[in-house]
Structure 1
Amino acid sequence: MKKLIVTIFAVLAFAPAAYADMNGHPGHGHPGMGHQDRVVLNLKTQGWVTTETARVHVNFDITQQKETAAELKQQIMAALDGLAGKAQWYITSSNENKDRTGLTRWMVSAEARVGEEHVSGLADRAEKASRPGFKVNVGYVDFSPSQAEFEALRGELRETIYTNAVMEAERLNRVFKDRTYKVSMVDFLERQAMPGAPAPRVMHSMKMAESDAVMSSGGSASNGATELAVSRRVNMSATVILTAQDKKEN
């Protein structure tokens, strides 16, 4: 489950601007756009995403006895179910080698999104699932929101900006009776900043979004230590261009 909290605010960055037309005459034109008025503004919004699941990473150190590889996998999955049975576990790596005594050793890693109610006591349950030759260890617990939760929030923020852009065009049409303004471009810039990271790298595309994900305190812990779920703030902005023609020219 995720909680999306959206805060909306808009900033008019520029007043209506006039550009030279293709013949060099100022006033209405912009190269390639014909005789049009343009209004350029900057819209901003922000929201919070809070997760109720944690990304849990588990390591296995196994000495193979008489079991087959398939039987070992069954034992691994049974141990994972004992840690958090309702989670969907995925084995992310598996490495087999022989030690100096000739015994076959397996190093296996697995991870899942685990509900907050199952995080407490993970290390104790991992210890109970261990036995000689079958060591279970919780590598880390990360309460950061999942990618799907982030994308759901970003989708809502984009929808907010689109809605506000249309509302601004309608507002202009009520004021300037001789014009019909429409949204002609929404230009996003996306930039995600992580704590302690160098200056964020700007990612460009035809349509870009500015999005700053800010981490609050807490988030992840090693060895199964209990951590609180954290919320992330996402700031998104976009440059919006509204264009219009004289109604007599339509």
Structure 2
Amino acid sequence: MGEHSRREFLKGMAAAAAGAVVLGEGCAVEPTLEGVEAREEREYVEPAGIENFRDLSGGVLIITANEAEETGVMLTLRDRSRKREEREAGAGFTFDKRGVLNRAIGKADILNGDQVESQQVPIVIANAEDWGNEDLQKRIGDEHFAMIQLRGHTDDMPVLYELARDKMSPHATVLFGGCRGAKKIPEYYDPNHPIIADTGTGESAVNTYILMRVIDEIGTCENWEELYVRLEENADLGSLGIVAPGGPGYEQLATK
């Protein structure tokens, strides 16, 4: 499917899902305020407690804008998992659009040599272009997910978010995997579905790494502030401009 056809297809998907969502032209386009009606600033409601988001036993859903993004997700997940498996036994990730990733849900007592308690997290990858496909819907099933990542251009996020709405658990963390995805937070902030994004231009491998770090860290953090600090202090993520609940400026951005 060519780029023009892909965008026309996704526009149709958006119209069906949300009534009137318009896609832009991708990461290279700078945001503009021209023609945009100013929104009244909303009162900020803090995200629900992080303890409501820790249980990922129902799985993580990754919705991609196209086949290229889908392939990138699979390749980078396998690569990241292989590197992790070299460091930690039992953390392997092998799948064909559906698989299982191990993540920590407890803190290890290193002095006593205890292992970190882990939980298997099912991973489901869905290409938005195939959303009406019967096989895809069977793979997704009736599950509602406590974590969903959207992968595509920033201007694909509105369409992907509308598809994701019906698959979210009552409490679900949403990751925007588009370039400078943080600029979309004001449109979609919900205290029961808080958004994590960044202000940089992330490649597929970077977005996958962010996802894996959040999967790992959210299970052992006491609050959102601790999660933000862990992400921000990570050497591979610190330069991306991570925007997450508990971080500086999140309240102002979410009510912008």
- TM-score over 0.5 for the pair: no
Structure 1 length normalisation: TM-score? 0.21
Q: Name the larger-Rg structure.
A: 1
Structure 2 length normalisation: TM-score? 0.21
Higher strand share: 1
Higher helix share: 2
